[in-house]
């Protein structure tokens, strides 16, 4: 079997056409690879941002918990101080009720003398 040059020409044309198709496929693969690389870059950026947001959220949560505990402690301290002040003022009021101040003693003695004097005057024969 010998090859006829006229029959070989269509094979060269077919090879050139296939070569062109392979070049198109190669260009498309390169575009897809470039696009995939860009997407991978975007994914890495989003992962980094997500990590940063997660860390920020965790820090915010820890701050909120610490603040809530500090507010709770401050409220408890304020309530304890208020209770102590109420107890102290009640004790002072009770002590002042139980003890005689000097003016009250003098007044009580004067009233007792006046009462005794009026009884004496009433009991004295006329």
30: enclosing H helix or E strand: helix 5-98
CB atoms within 10 A of CB 119: 10
Between the CA of residue 95 and those of 27, 81, 101, what are the distances in Å? Answer: 101, 21, 11
Helix (H) or strand (E) holding 104: helix 102-123
The pLDDT tens digits for 8-27 are 678 888 899 999 999 999 99
Question: Which residue, chain included where needed, has tokens 């079997």?
Answer: 1
Predicted confidence pLDDT, tens digits, the chain (126 residues): 455 555 667 888 889 999 999 999 999 999 999 999 999 999 999 999 999 999 988 888 889 889 999 999 999 999 999 998 988 888 876 666 566 677 878 888 899 999 988 888 887 766
Query: What pLDDT was estimated at residue 1?
Result: 43
- Per-residue confidence (pLDDT) for residue 117, from 0 to 100: 86
Flag whether the pTM goes above 0.75: no
What pLDDT, on a 0 to 100 scale, did the predictor assign at position 33? 95
pLDDT score, position 103: 81
Cα dihedral 54/60/65/66 (nearest 10): 130
């Amino acid at each position: 079997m010998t090859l006829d040059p006229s029959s070989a020409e269509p094979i060269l044309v077919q090879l050139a056409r296939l070569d062109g198709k392979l070049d198109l496929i190669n260009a498309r693969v390169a575009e897809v690879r470039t696009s995939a690389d860009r997407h991978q870059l975007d994914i890495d950026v989003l992962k980094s941002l997500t990590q940063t947001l997660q860390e920020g959220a965790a820090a915010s949560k820890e701050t909120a918990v610490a603040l809530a505990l500090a507010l709770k402690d401050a409220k408890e301290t304020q309530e304890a101080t208020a209770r102590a002040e109420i107890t102290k003022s009640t004790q002072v009021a009770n002590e002042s009720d139980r003890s005689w101040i000097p003016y009250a003693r003098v007044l009580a003695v004067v009233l007792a003398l006046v009462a005794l004097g009026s009884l004496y005057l009433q009991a004295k024969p006329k």
